[in-house]
Each structure stands twice: as C-alpha cells, then as structure tokens.
Amino acid sequence: MNQARPIISATPSAQALALAAVDGDDETADTAAEAESRALQVPPGHHGDRLDRALAALVPEFSRSYLGQLVEAGAAQVNGRAVAKPAHRLRAGDRIDIELRPTPMSQAFVPQPMALDVVHEDEHLAVIDKPAGLVVHPAPGHWSGTLLNGLLARDERARQLPRAGIVHRLDRDTSGLMVVARSRPAMDALVAAIAARRVTREYLALAHRPWTGPAEREVDAPIGRDPRNRLRMAVVDLDRNAGKPAQTGVQLLQNAEHGCLLRCALRTGRTHQIRVHLAQLRHPLVADALYGGAPAAGLQRQALHARRLAFQHPITGEPLAFEAPLPADLAAALADWGLTMPA
C-alpha cells in the first residue's frame, strides 16, 4: 500500500489560462483586467437579427447569454448610439461597437499557489489528498481558490489538459483521495476506466442512528435532480423523472449509541451519491444538512472521507492502491462516539 505523504508547495506560474464564457454565467465581470473593444459590421445574413444573436455569431468565443449581459450592462453601441436591449433588431451594414470584458469563468482558470498534499506523482498522474473545505473546480460562488487553481500553479503539464487533468470530483466538504492526470493519454484512459467501473473508490462515513439489519447492503437506486428542490439530488423514479442508475455498496464497520461508522464503495459516480443513498436508508451523514444530517460529535461538515483509491496505472498497467488517514476532525468525532478506526 502506497503511503508516502510529501507536502508539496505550489510555485507561481508565469502564464494564466483563460476560457471563453459558457451559457449559464449569471453576472458580468467586476474586474480590473483590461477589456477589449471590438468594432463589427452586421453582414447581410444577419439582417433583422437580435443584437445578442448576431453578436454570438460574430464573437463566437463568448456565449450568447454572456454577450446579452454585456449589452444590458451598457457595453454595446449600434451606429454610435448606446443600446442596452439584447433584443434590439439590426440591419445589414450596422456598426456594432462592444467592450468585451473578461468573464468570471475566464478569470477563474488561473494559477493560484497553494499547499497540496500529494500522495503520489509520476509522469502521467498524481494522487491528491484533498482537505475538507477545498472546492475542486471553479463554479458560481467559487471562482478562485479551488483545487484546479492549485494544480495550474504547481504543474506546467496541467495547463495543457482540460480541467487541469481533473477526471473526477469530491464535494467541497468531503475529504480524501483524488487522482488527476498529468498527460492527455492518461486523462483519456482514466476517464474511460472510471466510466467502466475499473477504479475502486471507498469512503468512510459517519452516519446518524445505529445500524440495523444486514451488516452489508447493496443500494441500487437511481439518482436525479430532486423535483421538489432543484438544489439537491434525490432517489427518483425513472419512469417519471430524469435520472441515472446509481449503485453503492454499504458495510457496517461499528455501531455507536448515536450512530454508525460505515464503509461505502461507489459502483457508479453520481452527484452526491453516497449522501443521497445513506439519507434514503435513513442514515444521513453527520452534519450533512442538505440531506437530513445535523452537527454531532463536534463535526460541522459532512462526515465523509475518501479513504481508499485503487486502479491500474493508465499507461504502465501497474496496480496502484492508496489510503488516506482520517483527518483530525473525523478522528476526533470517532473518538467522541467511542468508535475506533478500522484496520
């Protein structure tokens, strides 16, 4: 079992990466970064088009929704006059002047030095022990300070890969092991291996209520967006709601007066899968307020830790297996409930 634990501090990068906006940006950039002014002429094929639609064709590196936001923010003129309505109709030959401001997403994909706990690294991949509280990928509300930003800062190779080599994610408040690619062949092979269920991912979970019934269970319950609360996921009926099959293996390790320590193995990798399945079993994770948990045993974040990760090396075929020790907060929670860390 590989258990090397070097702490590697990221070094600053010389060149920032940028991505074009995607549909779904909900705010214009508030930044000191330089904006680009661009002058455009409406071709005959866009006579009668809305301003935002024509801009999407003439400035394809930005999304239509984001360009519409720029128009509403006063960044566009047509024939020298300010136009603030994306639905403004154009004529062939009209001149459009628009100030193309950086998007929040484009500014998110920049290197930010941070200390990362690197368990293993070779030419093609790295294994990271992610702390609770670290967001994996930039998203609305978390445009900086993510694992992706740290990877861009510490590794030149990450800048050549989609998503800096990230092939799977952990929730912000879940701690533990993640594999990231350092080469494109490794990235493609890891994505395929995860999809084919050839990557073993085991978690330790501290859940409410003592466990009853069989010590091992296979949960097979599809997961989709909760039709009553779009901010969370839920077990759904695929005949009536959109969703995907989801399977989790659950094993009781120890019981306590107030709850239980479980080992959970992902058979599939759906959003919030373990959290949703344990809530369905009426054993929500400690401190997972989104799915019915509550703070307990001193924990204020969901009690889930990606303890074990095993797979064949995507290039050499060598079997690799890694284990991450419990972080201090989870270890203290187990002690508070009189539980011991399993071997």
Q: Do domains 20-24+36-87 and 198-338 have the same CATH topology?
A: no
Separation CA 276–CA 299 (nearest Å): 19
Tell me the CATH number of domain 20-24+36-87, given options 3.10.290.10, 1.10.10.60, 3.90.1170.50, 1.20.1090.10: 3.10.290.10
Query: Domain residues of the chain, as ranges?
Result: 1-16+111-196, 20-24+36-87, 198-338
Helix (H, G, I), strand (E, B) or coil at 86: coil
User: Which residue among the candidates 49, 129, 171, 288 is catalytic per the annotation?
Assistant: 171
CB atoms within 10 A of CB 146: 23
| Residue 30 half-sphere exposure toward CB, CA atoms < 13 A | 3
Separation CA 202–CA 37 (nearest Å): 51
pLDDT average per 10 residues of sequence, the chain (343 residues) = 37 28 26 68 96 92 86 94 96 95 75 97 98 91 91 94 94 98 97 96 98 97 95 96 96 98 96 98 98 97 98 98 97 96 75
Separation CA 262–CA 276 (nearest Å): 14
Separation CA 161–CA 163 (nearest Å): 6
Which CA distances in Å does 326 have to 26, 133, 164, 176, 332? 37, 15, 26, 8, 9
Q: Find residue 208's DSSP bridge partners.
A: 259
Note the pTM of the prediction, 2 decimals: 0.74
Question: Which spans in the chain are helix H?
Answer: 51-58, 64-72, 104-108, 147-154, 184-195, 273-280, 328-336
pLDDT the model gives residue 22: 25
In this structure, what token pair is assigned to residue 157?
């190779």
Tell me the CATH number of domain 198-338, given options 2.60.40.10, 3.40.1160.10, 3.30.2350.10, 3.30.1360.170: 3.30.2350.10
Q: The domain 1-16+111-196 belongs to what CATH superfamily?
A: Pseudouridine synthase (3.30.2350.10)
Q: Cβ(264)–Cβ(241) under 8 Å? A: no
Which CA distances in Å does 131 have to 118, 139, 175, 245, 328? 11, 18, 5, 29, 10
Helix (H, G, I), strand (E, B) or coil at 161: coil
First CA to last CA across the chain, in angstroms?
Answer: 13
Verify whether residue 171 is a known catalytic residue. yes
pLDDT the model gives residue 100: 87
